[in-house]
Amino acid sequence: MNWIRVSVLVDGEAAEGVADVLRPFAYGGVSLEQDGLESGANQDWSILDDHITVSIYLPARDDTPAKRRRIEEALWHLGQCYPIPSPTFAIIAEEDWANAWKQHYCSFRVGQRILVCPAWEEPDVHTGDILLLMDPGMAFGTGLHPSTRMCLEAVEELVRPGMSVLDLGTGSGILAIAAARLAASPILALDTDRVAVQAARQNCARNGVDEGIQVRQGSLADLQLDGQWDLALVNILAPAILQLLEDGLGSQMRPGGLLVLSGIIEEQVPKILHALRQQDIALVKRVQMKDWVTLWGQRPAVE
């Protein structure tokens, strides 16, 4: 059987947003490929950001004009917020489709010590590195997107041994795994997507931290205990962050606990800040990468 590859060439800033739009149409997940780059951990991010191809695959039998139109319309709507080129459609042979993207997903470094390496690649580990072996498959969280990179930098800076960590919208599990590498405990990783939960569990096992991370399908509404987390990592999109804050995300934090909120476009920041104030959560840091912003908030230490 042949397959139709639907691809969009974007920069790293738009890559996982496009992946979210394409995912409902995908058979077997979404791939993010670093086009034209050689494997290696010392990538030039200014080059990388201009060479991401987001792809999905459709069985050729499902390739209809109506489906192509729906895909194009979905990308057009996203393009009203950020420039997105039109998708391309290509026929791919059966034997090529499943693993073709893996040759483009390369090792790279984030922050001072974090090394993200594809699970099928031999890592070039230096003394003191925090190694994350990842096979994101169809789940969000390769580490390419600015929001994920800023979250990884926050994990590196904030996590201390024994710190309790909640990862909401865990995707591939990359943030929870980084926290586990830094000896956080306990760690709870939640995602509403069953496929993401499966990918996160596999990556936790791949990194030897599966006993230290509880991965479950669910979200904030599934948490029963209040005030138990030292750090919450929320790397999703601004509307979902606003809803989580409205639903009492701040109350899940211990006094003095920290929230790291990412996936926020610059123009959405005022709404998030207003929601934080409504929950009596103080802004302690703002980090920006291109148009994407990560906010650190803190629950009052004494209430």
In which band, very low, low, confident or very high, does the pLDDT at 226 lie, cut at 50, 70 and 90?
confident
What's at 51, amino acid-wise?
H
More confident residue, 204 or 136: 204
| CA-based nearest residue to 219, from 236, 198, 199 | 236
Provide the pLDDT confidence category of residue 37 given band limits of 50, 70 and 90.
very low
203 lies in some domain: yes
Task: Give residues with Cβ within 8 angstroms of 104, minimum separation 6.
Answer: 33, 34, 35, 37, 53
Indicate if 94 and 150 belong to the same structural domain: no
Peptide bond into 123 cis (omega under 30): no
- Domain boundary among the residues 51, 80, 104 is at 104
CATH number reported for the structural domain that contains residue 182 in this entry: 3.40.50.150
* CATH number for position 38: 3.30.70.120
- Structural domain including 266 reads 139-298
- Beta-carbon contacts of 303 under 8 Å, excluding residues fewer than 6 positions away, are 255
The winner for highest mean pLDDT among 85-89, 123-127, 179-183, 262-266 is 179-183
Q: How confident is the model at residue 158 (pLDDT cuts 50, 70, 90)?
A: very high
Q: Does a structural domain hold residue 247?
A: yes
Residues 56 and 151 in one domain: no
The Cβ of residue 101 has, within 10 Å, a number of other Cβ atoms equal to 20
Same domain? For 285 and 175 the reply is yes
Spatial CA neighbour of 233 closest among 264, 194, 252, 260: 260
The confidence score (pLDDT) of residue 44 equals 43
pLDDT at res. 94: 60
Closest CA to 215 of 193, 241, 248: 193
Residue 40 has pLDDT above 50, yes or no: no
